[in-house]
């Protein structure tokens, strides 16, 4: 007897399958009968088993995959699934008809080994690598060569997505670069333009280049280093301000460029002058897609929009202007890039457009500087096929804009896979303190799907309240103020002094690729001595927690493998302090001294490490910091500075004002440090801080810093994946009933 399901026509069954996971389709329909097998052929040919429950995954992998492996044309593999696939690909011809392979969330070490298993697949020409984590285990250039040569040099299309780490190819100076004439298309994120010209030697026959640049342009001379077959060039450079000279450099790299796409941000007026831009285009140009966010260096500059539009008569454009600060968003009609990063104030023009197809290719949106969610609706309604939507809320001065009628609700986004609204209501309730036996802390956020669990965990709640509590405790206080210092806190400062002395015992060996290898000696000494130092600093009753405390302490000063430091390491030190508070080694009387004395000493040590060993800023995706390394000195430092204090936000970046106050305020000390290690105009190398200096009041700056810290640091997977959890810092969900206090008695704080 036929089931009711079998009575349904194929069209209806396939429509049902659209609402199922591809793994569920294979698990449910494969092998039932020839009709179902034929109907679900698409799911045989294009296989992705990620997020399939474990038992189903094992059944599909062991029972079904061997039967359909020769039919598979495209396959998606996450690193977490890799052990089984290593064995599977080692079998000769098991995926003989594979054409495209997508690899997600791999490290270069594991991927290097996996590529060794890819052999003799005559149809396999395309590889897509998403969210690649580049480590220090091998040179970026050598790893890239391994990818380009995979499957006996049969690959023609190699694509690293925008979530992958940026490649530094200048680390390959001493290597004999091989030539890979098979590569026709490469999508990749590079550090600078120097790395682009390294590619010339490696892939001389490339026809399509899609490049994201992570860092400011490096001036290079093209000479004869041209891509003689390159017809399509796409450049995404939103991390710094480009100039017209930068655009000229890129347009000279091939004599046969036909299809061009640029997404830029700039202070250079020439780049919004249509006549100037048109004059730069090569005669071979067939299609030109252009997007630029322009911010004038002089906010008092007189921008005549009509004049600007007149220069673009030969190229149809769309534009929006923010009257508050004269920023302009300008692009050729039919925006072609799949990424859109935009201030919410540009919603004005978009809100009045109806059923526009201009932004139909956008898949990833970041809308920032948002005051109210209603501001984003006009933008989102134009991007109906978006996959990832990130909305960053900030507390900013009032808008001086004519009210715009915006849509009341978001359009239905049927493809949306990831939504992050980075704004968190701050509770005044205190975190619970429930010390438990110690255990070695380990990372637990293995996948981006666990970010929701992280934000609902005890650790997240306790830490955010801890940050707020200390933020309030130092309101209006100077570093030099006399504050209560317990004997334990004094010993912890001495612990940092001893770590500082280790630098003298591990002198620099000479800078290599990114940092000085002597840092590894310093870090090894830290790991060797840390438990002893903690025992000396803490009373014996707290020694039972040293194993867990030591995990956070050793993670607080950077990574000895990658020779880098960032907000994740700063977070580890803050969690170290939180642990001390939870076990009551530090109490409410230490609140002010924790920031003004202990954390200030920690900053001094970290800066000496950064300068002595040339530590790299850690990471690139979402690991937000304001001086390449830190965030908390700006957050807590903005609380120290009051609206009736000695300096206004706009004066904070002026050396005449911060010079004599830098030792008293964390914020100003951080500004001074930036200007000591960086050159050039402040608005170029520290554009975010420059923008913040235009906020009228310190109270507003501080509120914005809190929200930015949650949204751009704590809520970012690249940082969260490295957070350590033990018994003191628990990944368990927050119980429904609220806890009591961070300390067993609430700490006295000053309300802002």
Condensed to tens digits (0 to 9), the pLDDT of residues 494-548 reads 999 999 999 999 999 876 666 888 999 999 999 999 999 999 999 998 999 999 9
Q: Write out pLDDT tens, residues 489-500.
A: 999 999 999 999
pLDDT for residue 394 = 59
**Mean local confidence (pLDDT), 178-190:** 95
Q: What length does the chain have?
A: 752
133 vs 619: which has the higher pLDDT: 133
Residue with tokens 């010993």: 491
DSSP annotation of 559 reads B
For residue 540, the 8-state DSSP code is G
Which residues partner with 386 through β-bridges? none
Residue 212, SS3? strand
First to last CA, the chain: 74
Average pLDDT rounded to a whole number, residues 228-242: 90
Q: Given a cut of 90, is residue 553 above it in pLDDT?
A: yes
Quote the pLDDT of residue 177.
72
Number of neighbours of residue 547 by Cβ within 10 angstroms: 16
Is the per-residue pLDDT at 252 higher than 70? yes
pTM of the entire structure?
Answer: 0.57
Q: Give residue 210's pLDDT band: very low, low, confident or very high (50, 70, 90).
A: very high
> Mean pLDDT for the chain?
84
Tell me the pLDDT tens digit for each residue of 676-721.
888 778 877 888 888 898 888 898 899 889 989 988 899 988 899 9
CATH superfamily of 442-725: Phosphotyrosyl phosphate activator, C-terminal lid domain (1.20.120.1150)
Please tell me the predicted confidence (pLDDT) of residue 40.
Answer: 87
- Output the pLDDT for position 206: 96
What is the per-residue pLDDT for 533? Answer: 96
pLDDT at 240 over 90: no
Is-contact 222 248, C-beta < 8 A?
no
Sequence-ordered strand ranges (E) for 628-740:
724-725
Average pLDDT, integer, range 444-467: 92
- Percent of the chain exceeding pLDDT 70 equals 87
Instruction: Please give the residue that has the higher pLDDT: either 81 or 97.
Output: 97
Rounded-to-integer distance, Cα 604 and Cα 516, Å? 19
CB 362 within 8 A of CB 385: yes
- pLDDT value, residue 741: 40
CB 575 within 8 A of CB 549: no
* SS3 assignment, position 649: helix
Backbone angles phi, psi at 388, to 5 degrees: -125, 130
* pLDDT for res 380: 87
- pLDDT tens digits along 574-603: 999 999 999 889 987 789 999 999 999 999
Q: Give the separation between CA 261 and CA 207, rounded to whole angstroms.
A: 14
Question: Token match 């793994």: residue?
Answer: 23
Interval 263-317: pLDDT, tens? 998 889 999 999 999 999 999 999 999 999 998 866 566 778 888 989 999 999 9
Among residues 635, 113, 76, the alpha carbon closest in space to that of 395 is found at: 635
Report pLDDT for 750: 28
pLDDT per residue as tens digits for the range 43-90? 889 999 887 887 888 899 889 988 998 899 999 998 877 777 877 776
Mapped onto helix, strand or coil, the DSSP state of residue 170 is helix
pLDDT tens string 378-429: 888 888 899 989 887 755 444 555 455 555 566 778 788 778 776 533 333 3
Give the pLDDT confidence score for residue 751 in this predicted structure: 28
Mean pLDDT over 460-469 rounds to: 92
Domain boundaries, the chain: 442-725
Q: Are 27 and 54 in contact (CB under 8 A)?
A: no
Q: Give the pLDDT confidence score for residue 129 in this predicted structure.
A: 96
């Amino acid at each position: 007897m036929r089931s009711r399901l079998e009575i349904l026509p194929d069209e209806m069954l396939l429509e049902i399958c659209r609402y199922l996971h591809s793994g569920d389709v294979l698990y449910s329909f494969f092998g039932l009968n020839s009709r179902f097998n034929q109907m679900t052929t698409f799911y045989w040919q294009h296989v992705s088993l990620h997020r399939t429950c474990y038992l189903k995954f094992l059944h599909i992998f062991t029972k079904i995959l061997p039967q359909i492996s020769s039919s598979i044309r495209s396959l998606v593999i996450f690193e977490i699934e890799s052990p089984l696939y290593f064995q599977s690909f080692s079998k000769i011809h098991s995926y003989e008809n594979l054409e495209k392979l997508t690899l997600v969330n791999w490290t270069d070490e594991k991927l290097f080994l996996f590529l060794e298993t890819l052999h003799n697949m005559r149809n396999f020409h395309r590889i897509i690598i998403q969210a690649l984590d580049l480590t220090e285990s091998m040179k970026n250039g050598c790893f890239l060569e391994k990818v380009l040569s995979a499957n006996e040099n049969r690959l023609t299309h190699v694509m690293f997505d925008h979530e992958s780490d940026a490649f530094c190819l200048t680390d390959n100076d001493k290597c004999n670069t091989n030539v890979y004439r098979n590569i026709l298309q490469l999508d990749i994120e590079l550090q600078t333009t120097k790395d682009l010209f390294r590619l010339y030697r490696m892939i001389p026959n490339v026809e399509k280049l899609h490049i994201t640049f992570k860092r400011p342009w490096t001036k290079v001379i093209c000479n004869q280093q041209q891509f003689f077959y390159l017809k399509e060039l796409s450049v995404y450079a939103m991390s710094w301000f480009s100039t017209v000279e930068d655009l000229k450099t890129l347009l000279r790299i091939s004599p046969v460029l036909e299809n061009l796409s640029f997404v830029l941000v700039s202070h250079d007026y020439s780049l919004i002058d249509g006549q100037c831009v048109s004059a730069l285009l090569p005669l071979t140009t067939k299609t030109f897609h252009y997007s630029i966010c322009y911010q004038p260096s002089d906010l008092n500059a007189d921008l005549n929009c009509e004049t600007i539009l007149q220069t673009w008569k030969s190229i149809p454009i769309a534009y929006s202007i923010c009257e508050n600060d004269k920023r302009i968003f300008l692009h050729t009609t039919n925006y072609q890039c799949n990424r859109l990063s935009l201030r919410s104030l540009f919603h004005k023009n978009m809100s009045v457009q109806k059923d526009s197809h201009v932004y139909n290719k956008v898949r990833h949106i970041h809308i920032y500087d948002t005051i109210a969610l209603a501001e984003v609706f006009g933008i989102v309604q134009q991007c109906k096929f978006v996959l990832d939507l990130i909305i960053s809320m900030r507390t900013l001065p009032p808008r001086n804009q004519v009210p715009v009628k915006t849509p009341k609700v978001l359009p239905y986004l049927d493809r949306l896979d990831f939504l992050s609204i980075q704004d968190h209501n701050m509770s005044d309730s205190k975190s619970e303190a429930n010390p438990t036996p110690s255990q070695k802390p380990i990372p637990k956020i293995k996948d981006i799907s666990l970010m929701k669990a992280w934000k609902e965990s005890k650790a997240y709640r306790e830490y955010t309240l801890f940050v707020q509590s200390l933020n309030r405790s130092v309101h209006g206080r100077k570093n030099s103020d006399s504050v209560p210092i317990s004997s334990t806190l004094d010993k912890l400062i001495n612990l940092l002094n001893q770590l500082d002395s280790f630098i003298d015992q591990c002198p620099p060996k000479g800078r290599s690729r990114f940092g000085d290898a002597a840092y590894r000696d310093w870090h090894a000494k830290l790991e060797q001595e840390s438990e002893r130092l903690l025992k000396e600093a803490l009373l014996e009753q707290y020694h039972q927690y040293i194993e867990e405390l030591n995990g956070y302490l050793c993670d607080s000063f950077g990574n000895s493998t990658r020779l880098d430091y960032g907000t994740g390491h700063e977070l580890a030190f803050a969690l170290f302090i939180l642990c001390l508070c939870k076990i009551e080694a530090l109490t409410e009387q230490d609140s002010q001294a924790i920031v003004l004395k202990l954390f200030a000493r920690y900053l001094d040590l970290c800066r000496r490490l950064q300068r002595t060993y040339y530590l790299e800023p850690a990471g690139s995706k979402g690991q937000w910091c304001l001086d390449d390394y830190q965030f908390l000195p700006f957050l807590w430092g903005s609380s120290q500075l009051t609206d009736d204090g000695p300096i206004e936000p706009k004066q904070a970046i002026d050396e005449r004002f911060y010079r004599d106050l830098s030792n008293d305020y964390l914020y100003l000390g951080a500004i001074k440090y930036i200007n000591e290690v960086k050159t050039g105009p402040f608005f170029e190398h520290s554009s975010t801080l420059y923008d913040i200096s235009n906020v009228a009041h310190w109270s507003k700056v501080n509120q914005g810093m809190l929200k930015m810290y949650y949204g751009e640091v704590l809520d970012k997977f690249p940082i969260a994946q490295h957070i350590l959890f033990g018994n003191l810092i628990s990944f368990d969900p927050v119980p429904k009933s609220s806890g009591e206090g961070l300390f067993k008695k609430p700490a006295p704080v000053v309300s802002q």
